[in-house]
Structures are given as structure tokens and as C-alpha cells.
Structure 1
């Protein structure tokens, strides 16, 4: 059985589409776990009315608002399936995707991913997976983790199914309070802990790009959580002797950290945030020595990324000017 976990906070506009995309799957051995994360709008009423009409397998759980990572964990803990799919409440699945997964793999996988389509708020296509990323039908977990960190393949929430036994045996769960970048931590941890990663080379989920969502904000303090997510990932990998010996993987995580630092800093600068320089200086406390090995990473990093991160480390005012000059030349 596949357990589809849908955490939702004030998702009244899209929760119906998300739920129906699961209920209408051709593959029927499915349960839906809705985790209502303290919604204050009409989300719960909509979900309950759909439940009453279709009587799907699963449950609706209402909790006090505790953030996305906590809601995902609550849903996973309540699930009974052999496989887990994490679906965001504003996204929706293609009706054949689970049937196609099991037809293609016969269940022989620890992680099976599939393509996604970016759509606007009305469901109109923006970009398809194939325009940016590759499909790799069969890979070891470590190889798949490295391919994801290199951005050769991409897996997002809703575009993969995970074997729950792998999750439980390795103690993989979302880090409570880290609600930005939680997908990077969880998905990469699952890949690195898996033996067999498969894929279905087709679009399986539609990912809504919503202009008012957190990810489209110019800057807010929760973006710092994405940096913490990378640090948590590295700490987790360092605790596994076999994984820690894989220099390529550890170096790719370090590069991800550097890119995340610069991404958050640029958002901060471009937002004209009042405390910009103070916050840029405070970001120094997020550094640890293991992320400062640029000399060992030069063969893996693009030159412009090395220059950018080096400027950021050297002087925050110089970095501020660097970003402004680069933006002016765009």
C-alpha cells in the first residue's frame, strides 16, 4: 500500500484538487493521510466534505500549527503503507503514476522518482522536467544522491515514492522547525540510505508555482532554515562511516552549503531588508570549518561560484556591492 501524506495549512484553494488526484488514481491500494496543521480558513471543512463523499482509506488528522516538517512527520508516523509519497497540498498527481511505477518496477526499489511539471496557479504548464533534468532508470542510492546534488536529476516533494522500511531502519525524518530546505535534507538522506533507486520517465505530478507562497517572497528570516537544512544533512552523512568516506558526496554537500549561503544573502540584499548588513554578519555563525575547503572543491565548482563565495567570506560590504553591480549588468 502507498500512503500519500498531505500536510496542509490554509490550503482551501487547492486541497480539493490535491485530494482528488489521489482518490482518482488508477492504482487503488492507497491511503491518504491529511495533516491539517492548524488551518484557520475553510481547509478542514473542504477536506471533510470530500472525505464524506468519497470515503477514501486513511484519515484526517488535525494538530496545532507546528510547521511543515512536523506535519510531515505526524503523517508518516500515522501511515500504514509500505511506501510513502509526500505530496504538498497545492500540487496534484497524474492519475496513472502509481500504477505505472509498479508496472515498471514490480516494487523492486527503495526510492522511485518520476518527472514533474511546473504549472501556474490555474494549472497551466510552465516548464516540464525534461527541459532541465535527466531520467536515470537504475542507480545506487549514493550515485543518485550525487546526481541530485549535481542537479543532473531532480526530486521534489510529490515526485517520488519511498520504501517506508528504509526510512524506519535509518531513522530518517524531517527536522522539526526546519521548514525551508526540508526536502533537500529528507530526500538526499533517503537516497543515500537506499540500495536501489528507480525512475519512471514521465510526468507524475504537477507543482504549482504560487506567487504568494513563501518561496516567492523576496526575503524573510525563515530562509535561514535552508542553510540549517544543509548543515543537518552534512552532520547526518558524517555519522555514517561508509557515506562519510565518499569524498565526492561530502564535497557536493559542501558546495550546496556555499550556494545556499549565497542564495539567501542575495535575497536579503535584493529585498532591501532594513537589517541587511547586521544579518549578513550574523550569518558568519553558520559557518563550520568543513565547509571552508574551497581549494579541494575547485574541480567541482564553477569559477563564478568560487569567486562569489570567496567575496562573501572576505567582506560583507564588498559582497553587497558585488551583488548590486551584477544585478545592474543584467
Structure 2
């Protein structure tokens, strides 16, 4: 699938090289950060982000709760930036602030307010000269390089890899750390996967449910956001379990559903859920382990036996090519979405 190749797609295809270099460049830094956070032994952690970075924060929550056993909450930026009401319970708590630019005023203000209460700010940023990086107690560079397309792609993937690296060192999860060593080849394979069979269903769509669960729920969130942002397609992400609590009643014959199947126990019930959508005439487009997506209309199988975290990261790598093609087919310029800017300056 090679639609018109603009900055978004060029940058997305740089992600495999970026991530390989990042792991090498950050090895000592992340090992030390992981040791420091492990010694801190916090009762919980928090994330702070907006936009695509907030989907990465959801990925951090999954990693920390499943692989490190640390409950993780999402700290709303306005609590610190507008209300100045960050809790004193943040003392000695890691606050993971995620921002490609490191220059969003609300994230900076919220980080400062949390620090006032004793939080340990851990910044994951692409721009290490940014104000967020300067104020952080621990800074993890994602090393994505310049990203000029408004829609973040390689920086999002690089952030997922940096989070996985950090949590693997923090938790001492050798299996997760070992799985990361093959991220470059896996992302290249994912970037080459052809998802163009989904185009006839997505290009004319007026709305879309995007499903994920466990490690792929934030992937579904990022996919939905990118389709809104680049293609003008109203897409909404739900857990494949949560969708049964109301939203699935909106889907009728002809309405497409996009699903990112997880490669772990959270795939429980996915086959039946997709079969239910297909039975009512909804075209189901699904990526994931073959046995879990067998009921889908269009299937993009994942390699058997791959680590579920790596599989989730690979899925968004494949999806970016599709998002680019959908946007162009709908008459949009994915590099320059209307009304959006690279740095969002909210407070």
C-alpha cells in the first residue's frame, strides 16, 4: 500500500531505525532510572499527557500495572495548571510526563505544581532542550529526531519503546527487556505489511468503532485519534469488553469496526465479540493473533508467539500506513490537518 508519500508516512517509516538507536543510546540512562525508581518503591505512579501522548500514557499504565505491579493513575493537567490543587499524596511519587515537544504550557505548569508537592517528575520528551526536560528530575529522551508532520508517528512509537524500556528495567522484567532487542526487525516487518484491503470499508465510512484491550487499548485510542486528525473520520476507541456495555448497539449493517487484538489473556471473548459484529452485517477489520481474529471480514494476522507488548507496538506501525492512505483517499492532506499545530499551547 503506497499512497502518496508525504512527511507523515516518511517519518512513520523511520521508526524502526529510531527505536534501535534509542535503545542503544539510552541503555545506561534507563538502567539507572529503573534502579532509582525501583529503590523508591512507590505505592502508585501517575501519568501526565495530552493527545497522542495521553495514549502513550495509557500504554505506560498497562506496563506498570501488569509488569511492575504498580497502580497508575492519569493526572489531569488542569488539576495543577489551573486549579493548583495537586495532592500532597504525590510526595515521592513518580509522575511520568509525556510530551513530544516538552513545551505545552499546561503540562509544564502541572509538572511544576506536582513537584511543589514532592512528586518525582519523569519526563519522556523528544526535545531535550525543552522546559519540561529542564524541570524534570529524570529525563528520558525518545531520540525521534525532527518530526515536521503535525500528526505524530515515529515519536509516538519511540515513546512506546522508551516506556517499555523504562518499565522493563524498573520491574526487572528480563523477558520484556529481551523482547525489546528485536524491535527494529519487527517494526520493519510491520511497516511492510499491506493493510490496503481495509480501504474500501474505511474511505466511505462516516464513523467507526475501534477496539482494543490490555496492551492494545491505547493502540486503538491512537488509531481513532489519527483517523479523526488526518482523515476527518469520526472514530471512537473502546475496550472490546466495555463496548458490550452500550456502544455496540450503535453498529448496524455496513458500519465498519476496526479491532486490534491483544496477544495475551485480555483477548478472552474477542472472537465471540467480532463474530457478533460480523453476524449483524458489520465489516470487521482486525489485526492480531490469527485464532482471535478468525471471525473478521479482513484479517491481518500477527506472528505467532510474539510478546504482546511488542505486538501492540508493531500494530500501530502497520496502521500508520493505512491512516495515511485513508486520509489521501478522502481528499485530505495528512501532513497538514486543518486547525491543528505541532505544539498545542493550552493551559
Q: Which structure has the greater CA radius of gyration?
A: 1
Higher RCO (CA 8 Å, separation ≥ 6 residues): 2
Do the structures match in fold with TM over 0.5? no
Question: What TM-score do the two structures reach when normalised by structure 2?
Answer: 0.29
Question: What TM-score do the two structures reach when normalised by structure 1?
Answer: 0.30
